Amino acid sequence: MPRTALLVSAALLTALLSPTASHAADDPAPVPVDRFEGEVPFASQPAEGIFTWGSGTDDPPALQLTARSDAPEGAEVLTGSYDISGYGGFTHDYASTEPAHDWSARKGIRFWWDGQDNGKKVAFEIKDGGANGEASELWTTSFTDDWTGWRQVEIPFTDFVYRTDYQPVGGIDHVLGLTGMWGYAVTLPVGVKGRFAMDDVELYGRADQSLRANVTTDAAVYPVKEGGTAAVKVTVATTGSAPIDDPVTVAYETAGGTADPGKDYTPVSGTLTFPAGTASGTSKTIEVPTLRDKAAESAETVPLGLTVTGAKAPAETPQVVVDAHGLPYLDAKLPVRKRVADLVSRMSLAEKAGQMTQAERGAVGDGGDIATYALGSLLSGGGSTPTPNTPEAWAKMIDAFQLRARATRFQIPLIYGVDAVHGHNNLSGATVMPHNIGIGATRDPRLAEQAGAVTAAEVRATGIPWDFAPCLCVSRDERWGRSYESFGEDPALVQSMETVIQGLQGRANGRDLSRNDKVLATAKHFVGDGGTEYGSSTTGTYKIDQGVTKVTRQQLEAVHLAPFETAVDRGIGTVMPSYSSLDVLGDGQGPVKMHARADMINSVLKDRMGFDGFVISDWNAIDQLPGDYASHVRTSVDAGLDMVMVPYTYKDFTGTLVDEVKAGRISERRIDDAVSRILTQKFRLGLFEHPYADTTGAAAIGSPEHRAVARRAAAESQVLLKNSGGLLPLKKSEKVYVAGSDADDIGNQSGGWTLTWQGSSGNITPGTTILQGMREAGGNLTYSKDASAPTDGYDVGVVVVGETPYAEGVGDVGNGHSLQLSAADRATVDKVCAAMKCAVLIVSGRPQLIGDRLDGIDALVASWLPGTEGEGVADVLYGKLPFTGQLPVTWPRSESQLPINVGDASYDPQFPYGWGLTTLTRVPQGGATTLRALALAATAAERAGADRTGRELVAEARLLVQQKVGQRITEPVAKPFADADHLLLTGRYGEAVQKLTEAYRAA
């Protein structure tokens, strides 16, 4: 309905004339935005509508239109209930297919709110500029619900401030233009179960210059070398971008700060005048000269006070910073050890606490708290991205945060971290690799290293020097929602794939970390997260994630600790403990959260293994420890945590840490050790010399060269489980019927941790689906997602089915997920495979139970989560490359068998660990005779240290055995077959062939 043609109701007129609402007599009539009479639907873009959102499935509020006799306007109001643990609210977006709205002639926005007197703040935001409501700048303010009953809330547009935690790069132009408005959003209180009612959102009043003109500076911090001159650009801008009607004056004066006037800088003062008629966006410059002396000094600040008349003043006082100079820690020629010791000796306890603190980018707003709390690190959680989500925006965002760190006494640069767990997966357009389970299936350590190198190059090119990867968990139960983050169930396989660390970091001695294509890597999650017992989790509705790992000391060492020892030998820079608890049978401690296990972090990791990097906690993990907050801090730091990820509670953490040290409950020696470890890695990364983003590699992000590595990884990750009659590879002459939910879905084939934490289905990022890859391979295809198209006349069917994305405990089996294909997927498989010869591809993060349909399937492929390069899957389907992948985990017959792993005393799976048929490869002939010869040759190769030869000999024996076994996989076959692959990975080639011979005889 037309927004300017609505009549003001009697109730609204009464409100406008009431003593509680003071409005000028000549104010224009209000312009309705929402009457909540059904004129705006519950819908989302591209259509206009009201929609809810939240951090989890239970956080979006429930909304409805409710008839109320006390409605301030009309007959209905918007009502809702909420119980929010993370964040949640609702939005009204205008249609993105229509022009944006012009609010620039108005003083502000107002609405009626039915107060509950809960004392909670409610955030109200408006959306300005950009392509649509979801790509706009957010400008925010809030009101406190401290009354009962209906009250009209009036908010002048001058009360809104730019929301930097949503788009810290600066969004569109940093100016509330009001000429391109896309709607509003309401963020409801957290931690209180409540209800609300709202009515009659409208624009009111008439804008005047004092409300629509504002003065800004081009930065908040201006670092300058001693003796240089800082240039502070002052700009006047108006909402609507019209020229100013009246003069604007800006009086300025240097005063306060830590620098001495006349010694460190020349004081300046004066007045800038922007005459009436000055164009919006006009700038003038204030220069602040600094003075040179011969003394070595830490950084010093010179605030530039601004007094504005005729416009709104900047949100904060700009600071000129005279850079630290002449101090030993700044000398790049000194050994890192000496630089660290010098810097730590100068730091205060509060500065040390700041270095041990990591906050989420969304929590620090415009970044002022970085200097206030001397923060050492920021991170982006899954899906925490700048707007727009481009490489340029990431680099600008991080540079803006690094600029804030220049205002600290020693200008210690931030170290920014991100979960790039299969490529730079938070960045739209990045190269998304197969998840680790697929990399494990490749059995190709060199490819793992190349995948790590591509990831590092793309991450560092956006200004990020730290990656929370790789996950070195040994996944022992496929019901775990994180199982795809593991390279496999065999510690030997995980260890073999740790070449990824060199891909990420470079040489083990850390000398490559300062390169613009390397990042600091993180071994996670220490230790035993892949061994948690099903049903032991106490986190929300999780079933196994963050639960308890019960093991003997021998099992702990052999299975879960071994990969971390390898990581330390490879020079891993950081280690992240697990959320899970560890229960070492017989040690008398029972289950203890890993973030509290000093015996494992200090004694085993740091002392025994010799780990010299730093330990970073997981997201809010210390909050899961018993006791009060002070004990959380004390226990975790004493256990060996060097940096603590406290995304939104960094103020509480730093204050508590300082208090605990002052009280003598945490030693200063422990603090100095932690800070020294952190600073060592910052120096190795070259951040003190180059804190800002080096974007020279940005052009290679998502490049053909990088995608070629991902394509190869996708191809090598495909595991051919069954291939009756040699159905695969397909021939281009064959007429192929393609169906299935995952055939043409880039989101499903990429999985969780893709753009957002949980990932999502659909066309979420640039790439090639499996269907597109098959078309590009030249296949003669017909596609019908649900197999509703006629199935007559085809040579072969290819059905691509599997899971939809999930991450962490959200994906635990029993938490809304299972190992069964969906009913729709099963129906598609049944229909296609009944009509023609068929190949079924399973896109998933873990094995799916397929045994009841296996007889009706001619070819079966475990495709895992291949990432954005579906051509890699097509490469093996059409025979451009051979199938070479092997199962990195055991494929069970039923869920009742779980957990089932190589080495189990009872072992009767659908497909054993290490199984993987091949194509385009000659299978050896000669049976038992050939196996005897291969065993002798493999033993000789082992003695000679000829690893490559030994691996090739075992591979030949495996192909021979698989050919004889076919689909007759019994327990006497499966157990030695799986054991052989473990022996191969541990370099015992002769024994591996002997085990394969045992399987051959049992077939």
pLDDT number for residue 164: 67
- How far is residue 465's CA from residue 519's CA, in Å, rounded to a whole number? 5
Given 59, 73, 449, 618, which residue is catalytic?
618
DSSP tag of 33: E
For residues 461 and 391, is the Cβ–Cβ distance under 8 A?
A: yes
Q: Which residue type is seen at 935?
A: A
Please report which confidence band the pLDDT of residue 544 belongs to, taking 50, 70 and 90 as the band edges.
very high
Residues in contact with 121: Cβ distance below 8 Å, sequence separation at least 6, in sequence order? 142, 143, 144, 145, 189
CA-CA-CA-CA torsion sign (306, 307, 313, 315): positive
Helix (H) or strand (E) holding 31: strand 31-34
Contact 3, 32 (CB under 8 A): yes
Q: What is the pLDDT of residues 691-723, one digit of tens each?
A: 999 999 999 999 999 999 999 999 999 999 999
165 as an active site residue: the answer is no
The reported pLDDT for the residue numbered 335 is: 98
Percent of the chain with pLDDT over 90: 90
Q: Over pLDDT 70: what percentage of the chain?
A: 97
Spatial contact of 722 and 917, defined as CB atoms under 8 Å apart: yes
* Tens digit of each residue's pLDDT (9 = 90 or more) over 947-983: 999 999 999 999 999 999 999 999 999 999 999 999 9
Task: Flag whether pLDDT at 296 surpasses 60.
Answer: yes
Whether 618 is catalytic is yes
CA-closest candidate to residue 133, choices 65, 61, 55, 43: 43
Q: What is the mean pLDDT of residues 282-310?
A: 97
Contact 204, 107 (CB under 8 A): yes
Average pLDDT, the chain: 94
Please report the pLDDT score of residue 181 as a whole number.
Answer: 95
The alpha-helical segments, DSSP class H, found in 250-380 are 336-346, 349-355, 368-372
Per-residue confidence (pLDDT) for residue 166, from 0 to 100: 57
| Per-residue model confidence as pLDDT tens digits over 40-54 | 999 998 999 999 998
- What pLDDT shows up at residue 703? 98
pLDDT at 286 exceeding the cut of 90:
yes
Residue of 808, 869, 942, 981 with catalytic role = 808
Angle made by CA atoms 970, 972, 973, in degrees to the nearest 5: 65
Per-residue pLDDT at 4: 27
**Average pLDDT for 19-32:** 67
For the segment 765-770, the average pLDDT, to the nearest whole number, is: 98
Query: 843, 901, 58, 867: which is closest to 479 by C-alpha?
Result: 901
Nearest to 74 by CA among 38, 31, 50: 38
Crossing angle of helices 947-965 and 927-944, in 10° steps, is: 160
Helix (H) and strand (E) counts in the chain: 25, 37
Structural tokens at position 231: 């240039």
For residue 256, the 8-state DSSP code is -
Look at residue 616 and give its three-state secondary structure: strand
**pLDDT surpassing 90 at residue 27:** no
**Per the structure block, which two tokens stand in for 361?**
């980018």
Parallel, antiparallel or unpaired: strands 735-739 and 780-783: parallel
CA atoms within 13 A on the CB side of 559: 26
Greater pLDDT, 105 or 472: 472
Greater confidence (640 vs 171) lies with 640
Annotate 475-505 with b (16+ C-beta within 10 A) or e (fewer).
bbbbbbbbbbbbbbbbbbbbbbbbbbbbbbb
Q: Please state the rounded mean pLDDT for residues 652-673.
A: 98
Note whether 729 and 879 are within 8 A (CB).
yes
**β-strand 859-864 against 31-34: which pairing, if any?**
unpaired
How confident is the model at residue 25, as a pLDDT?
Answer: 53
Q: pTM score > 0.85 for this model?
A: yes
Q: Which amino acid belongs to residue 167? A: Q
SS3 905: coil
For 644, half-sphere exposure in the C-beta direction (CA atoms, 13 angstrom radius) is 30
Q: Is the pLDDT of residue 428 over 60?
A: yes
* 3-class DSSP assignment, residue 501: helix
| Mean pLDDT along residues 899-926 | 96
Give residue 191's pLDDT band: very low, low, confident or very high (50, 70, 90): confident
Mean pLDDT of 250-268: 97
Cα–Cα dist 196/542, whole Å: 31
Q: Does residue 10 have a pLDDT over 90?
A: no
Looking at residue 964, its pLDDT comes to: 97
**Distance in angstroms (rounded) separating the CA atoms of residues 725 and 917:** 13
User: In whole angstroms, what is the distance from residue 501 CA to residue 529 CA?
Assistant: 19
Relative to beta strand 357-360, strand 76-83 is unpaired
Place of tokens 């200097």: 371
- More confident of the two residues 167 and 102: 102
CA distance 841 to 10: 65
Asked whether residue 18 carries a pLDDT value surpassing 60, the answer given is no
pLDDT, one tens digit per residue, over 854-865 is 999 999 999 999
Please choose, from the candidates 478, 468, 465, the residue with its C-alpha nearest in 3D space to the C-alpha of residue 513: 465
pLDDT tens for each residue of 369-404: 999 999 999 999 998 998 889 999 999 999 999 999
Cβ density class 231-262: b for 16+ within 10 Å, e for less: ebebbbbbbbeeebeeebebebebeebebeee
Which DSSP string corresponds to 128-141? Answer: ESSSSGGGSEEEEE
Q: Which residues contact 482 (CB under 8 A, 6 or more apart)?
A: 471, 473, 475, 529, 530, 545, 807, 808, 809, 811
pLDDT of 294 reads 86
Residues 91, 42: Cα–Cα separation, whole Å: 10
pLDDT of residue 15: 37
